[in-house]
Amino acid sequence: MIKVKLLGMQQLKNKLTKLTSGVKREFEQLNTRTAFSIERDAKKVAPVRFGFLRSGIKTNIYQGGMATEVVATKDYSAYVEYGTRRMKARPFMEPAWEKNKAEYMREIEKLVKAAL
């Protein structure tokens, strides 16, 4: 199983829990929105033979959006992502994260600046 977790640093999480509910809600929405974007992009990039790999890419939301994860649940997901000695890697999770990372970090920065 392959996971991409969007977890804030513990200090950021502690700070956000002390902030107004509006900023916390924005952070939860950002995490959730980003996780679903990663899922969508991973499904676009995932190699398709029968569609099982693509159908196994799921988003899980925890604590109302304070923590999210995008998971490739098929047993062979890691073999496709990283390859084997007999099969070339065909990454789909890492490219999806890389595509969304810069925007996610910009939005986090805006939230932190607004909160301080």
Q: Each residue's pLDDT tens digit in the chain (116 positions)?
A: 666 666 555 666 666 566 666 788 898 999 999 999 999 999 999 999 899 999 999 999 998 898 999 999 999 999 999 999 999 999 999 999 999 999 999 999 988 787 76
Q: Which domain holds residue 97?
A: 2-115
- Contact (CB, 8 A) for 64 and 35: no
Rounded CA-CA distance 7/42 in Å is 19
Predicted pLDDT at 2: 61
Predicted pLDDT at 83: 97
What total number of domains does the chain contain?
1
